[in-house]
Amino acid sequence: MPAHVAVIMDGNGRWAKKNGVPRLSGHKAGMEALKKIVRRSGELGIDYLTVYAFSTENWKRSDEEVGGIFKILVYYMEREIREIHRENVKVNILGDYTIIPEAARKAVEDAVELTKNNTGLNFNIALNYGGRDEILRAVRSIAEEARAGDLDPESLTEESVSERLYTGGMPDPDLIIRTSGELRLSNFLIWQSAYSEFYFTDILWPDFDESAYEEALRDFSHRKRNFGGR
């Protein structure tokens, strides 16, 4: 069983088109799928689940769609956070969520505060997140420390860079799942995925249920990981 699973939840729009409903209905269906995967991850004893909820590139979408996505996020947080808390899930946010709409920002901050002492599944929501932006922020932090004389550049290690990422203190993902048939990372956890295993499926995210999730985990369990060795 992987300790850390990351998911690129792709295909909400195509699901909506396939079913003849508005795009936002696809995002709502995707949120229902997410609920199932979070719950199943906790039941299976997975330590970390990271989901790509909103990227730094998603701002390019229409104002209507972007606004709708954040309204769905608020609805999900307000409706589900008590159950998530009862299940001992700890919510973390990866990304610069300070610039998202105020209602959404407050909802995620309340979720983080409510669950901060929980000891079960770490549920990481990548929100206004981009892998290159994350690395750039770490580099700027290192440069500032070096300029202030608090850091010797010669002392830098991969671990010290990792500590300055949003995922600092967390293990790198063992398995990254992408739905909908696309075969790329799309700027997601690009530092952390150096030795991750990848699982791609044609299933659109709203149709990705517990059975499909468990199939991905079974596939992972048969792989041999050498981390560059033999």
**Do residues 116 and 108 make contact, with C-beta atoms less than 8 angstroms apart?**
no
- pTM for the predicted model, two decimal places: 0.95
Give residue-wise pLDDT tens across range 159-210.
999 999 999 999 999 999 999 999 999 999 999 999 999 999 999 999 999 9
Query: What pLDDT is recorded for position 76?
Result: 92
d(CA 208, CA 202): 10
- Look at 201 and 78; give whichever has higher pLDDT: 201
Give residue-wise pLDDT tens across range 15-38.
999 999 999 999 999 999 999 999
State percent of the chain over pLDDT 70.
98
Q: Which residues are catalytic?
A: 10, 58
Query: What pLDDT is recorded for position 225?
Result: 76
Q: For the stretch 175-198, what's the b/e string if a residue is b when 16 or more beta carbons lie within 10 angstroms of its beta carbon? A: bbbbbbeeeebebbbebbbeebbb
Q: Please check whether the domain covering 4-221 is classified as CATH 3.40.50.150.
A: no
What is the sign of the dihedral through the CA atoms of 72, 73, 74 and 80? positive
- Terminal Cα-to-Cα distance of the chain (whole angstroms): 22
Where are the domains positioned within the chain?
A: 4-221
